[in-house]
Structure 1
């Protein structure tokens, strides 16, 4: 699942691909926003760990990755 994280005072968003389900990701984000944890901690499919202070979160966008088509039949 694709995750986009907006951070306050940062010009770009953080984009990562997670192996977790939408429900698991939503629970992790909710814990960070409610104050149960100080950091939003996520690990992508390549093993890279992303830590964002919970008080600096602007938004978290959870969505499916777009499927890339290859070949001559790829035109829409």
Structure 2
């Protein structure tokens, strides 16, 4: 089980590791499984991958917001 926080969803959207068209409101369990599959594929505990994603997303907020804007995704 993993809890998909907004930073994971944004990172997944930017990196393309979530299937296109999936939304949290309708496909939470599928998104969660894709995150867990990524974690297993990288041989990293989900909690550590989550923490790394959070750290990276928070370390460069200007860049992240710019990328989200370019991709047409919400930054807030």
TM-score where L is the length of structure 1: 0.32
In proportion to residue count, which structure has more helix?
A: 2
In proportion to residue count, which structure has more strand?
A: 1
